Structure 1
């Protein structure tokens, strides 16, 4: 759940509600406000603000302010001209649709990049490199998207499999151990089947990388490493999964790349040798022709 949603749903006293309303209505005013300044503006007591922070799970106003502003800035950046759910309408000409879909893809990549945390990326690299086997838990479209990741990883001699059937995923979770690394892909982060798998994986001491939406959800909070999918789409009132699919593809390409770069020369030479031995395609186009 997003912090903004928690603030709206949390039950507060009258004084606390005044503070909560101000936070929601005036985010642009918050960066320079101390507890005393905010209390003075809202005619409340600084201790009320501390209680608001505590009820939302924070140690104090500074922690709450930083988390809220980070979320607010994300929600108000990148996607300012294109609607992720309805990026075009029936009156648009074909070239206009082409331009809008292109803008949507570019916005999505920038949006996803803004959510990448360097420490999480380093941890993900460590977990993937140390694993003897990598298991992906994903359903439907995400499982199809992940197949390309599996192919690329196998080409550099990494053992990767996909569990996309819920019952089978439970078996795979039980048959994993500390030498396995699990990647769970879930846009909501609340997929019941994969939350159950996560519980099993934790008991088996399996390192877990979660790819989910922003905000707190069971998969992101319980994974050892959490990477964020761009979070702009509704569940179903949309033309297509344009942004979430693009975001997942980017994150999986990123995971492959950070594994690849750990042994760059050997991996590149391996791909070239395999290509020379097995790729029989021919072309008259110089730009893609291989120089043997």
Structure 2
């Protein structure tokens, strides 16, 4: 839930309600105003700002202000020329649709990257590196999206699997201590996934949440969180374009972070196993593998000509 949404649902006094309305209506000015200035313009005592912050779950005004401004910056950045829900119109031709879909993909990737926090990403990486077993929990399309991530992780020797539909809670209960989970949920409030998050939390099994911005139950329970682009409505849209692109990017990012920890070893392993197993023919030169190419090590590519 976004801070603005929490403000709408929280019960405030008359004075507090007027203060919240002023904050929402003039958010662009907030960063330049002191507590005293905000209080004066709303004819309230400065302590009113602290009470509002605490009712929203914060320790103080400055903490609320920082999160509120960060949320506002995110919501007003990217996606200014494209609608994530209706990226093209019924009057658009196929070339225009192609262009707009490309613009949507670019906007989604830029948007998702802006949400990546170094410490959360690094903690996620360390969890995956130290876990002997990785299990992904998701619903509907997220299960399909994660299959490529699982394939890549298994090919570099990291044991990763997807929870069996209908058996997720049981599998969460039976995860060994040296494992970790990945929970993918756009809303972060999916009942089944919240149940799984609670099970993992009680069992002291760490897990990564891939979810929307704002406050939600799964992100509260997670060991660490990666935020996906949060622009789509739940169902009044053409398709889950930005959500799917964002989740795919974040899973690819996790895989790349794990791969990079033992870059040369993993690369050699993929080349060696590929040479033994992948016998697909190709008539396109750029796809062709040669004995020389198969034996090239990373450092060789940096040798001077």
Q: TM-score, normalised by structure 1?
A: 0.97
Measure the CA separation in 2 of the matches of 1:9 and 1:137: 30
- Give 3-state SS (helix, strand or coil) of 1:282's partner: coil
Alignment of 1:211 with 2:202, yes or no, is: no
CA deviation string 1:201-248 (max 9, x = no partner): 122211110111111111111100111111111111000000000000
Measure the CA separation in 2 of the matches of 1:200 and 1:179: 15
Matches within 5 A, 1:95-134: 95-134=95-134
Matches within 5 A, 1:143-222: 143-165=143-165, 167-222=166-221
Match of 1:139? 139
- Give 3-state SS (helix, strand or coil) of 2:181's partner: strand
Measure the CA separation in 2 of the matches of 1:25 and 1:226: 30
Q: Out of 54-63 and 105-114, give the one that drifted further.
A: 54-63
Measure the CA separation in 2 of the matches of 1:124 and 1:163: 19
CA deviation string 1:258-287 (max 9, x = no partner): 110011000000000011111112223222
CA contact (8 A) 1:149 1:253 kept: yes
Deviation of the 1:89 alpha carbon: 1.0
Deviation of the 1:164 alpha carbon: 4.4
CA contact (8 A) 1:177 1:204 kept: no
CA contact (8 A) 1:186 1:211 kept: yes
Q: TM-score, normalised by structure 2?
A: 0.93
Alignment of 1:27 with 2:27, yes or no, is: yes
Residues 213, 207 of structure 1: alpha-carbon distance in 2 compared, 3 angstrom cutoff: same
- Give 3-state SS (helix, strand or coil) of 1:30's partner: helix
CA deviation string 1:108-161 (max 9, x = no partner): 001011111100011001100110000001122100110000100010011111
Measure the CA separation in 1 of the matches of 2:53 and 2:170: 41
CA contact (8 A) 1:120 1:227 kept: yes
Alignment of 1:253 with 2:249, yes or no, is: no
Measure the CA separation in 1 of the matches of 2:130 and 2:99: 43
